Amino acid sequence: MTNNWSNDGLQRWIEQISARDFGKPFRHYARWNTRLSSTGGRYLLKSHDIEINPKQWEANGAEEVERIIKHELCHYHLHLEGRGYQHRDADFKRLLAEVGGSRYCKALPAIRKKRTEPYRYFLLCQACGQRYRRKRKVDVKKYVCGKCRGKLTLEAIAE
């Protein structure tokens, strides 16, 4: 399967995988979703649609995306059958192993970098001395200490 970045191509690919590996049709919609950041794909419970992260294709290739599709199809088919479709359910784990889907998707390089960003802001409670580290700036007029409800001050900004 070559990626043509069209939702129609993804739809056909998911329909083929569903018929081949599950022996059941995929009757809903599939689409690429560039807004997914920390996940490879998702199954939407209300609409029964499947969304796949195209960044996984770029970073890890078609084989990894196929394993992600199988994972989402496990949620899809089990949910429609009224069986255990959640990650913790035995039905889900069993079906995932049978079809060769991935339990977890590979992390994207940009996500790893984002999560290891150093703390830039340090807050200090004036009442109890509790210190807080934050990556984003906090409005000290709006928030109070979670321990004693004391006033917070911005202690230092690390650059």
Domain ranges of the chain: 7-110, 121-157
Are 53 and 36 contacting, i.e. CB atoms less than 8 angstroms apart? yes
Q: What whole-number distance in Å separates Cα of residue 85 and Cα of residue 92?
A: 5
Structure confidence by residue, pLDDT tens digits, 13-44: 999 999 999 999 999 999 999 998 888 999 99
Are 150 and 128 contacting, i.e. CB atoms less than 8 angstroms apart? yes
Structure confidence by residue, pLDDT tens digits, 124-150: 999 999 999 988 888 999 999 999 999
Q: Is 72 one of the catalytic residues?
A: yes
Residue 159, pLDDT above cutoff 90: no
Q: What whole-number distance in Å separates Cα of residue 25 and Cα of residue 15?
A: 6
Write the CA distances from 18 to 33, 123, 135, 145, integer angstroms: 20, 52, 42, 52
Catalytic residue among 15, 58, 64, 72: 72
pLDDT band at 109 (very low <50, low <70, confident <90, very high): confident
Domain 7-110 has CATH 3.90.870.10: no
**What is the bridge-based pairing of β-strands 30-32 and 50-52?**
parallel
Are 131 and 100 contacting, i.e. CB atoms less than 8 angstroms apart? no
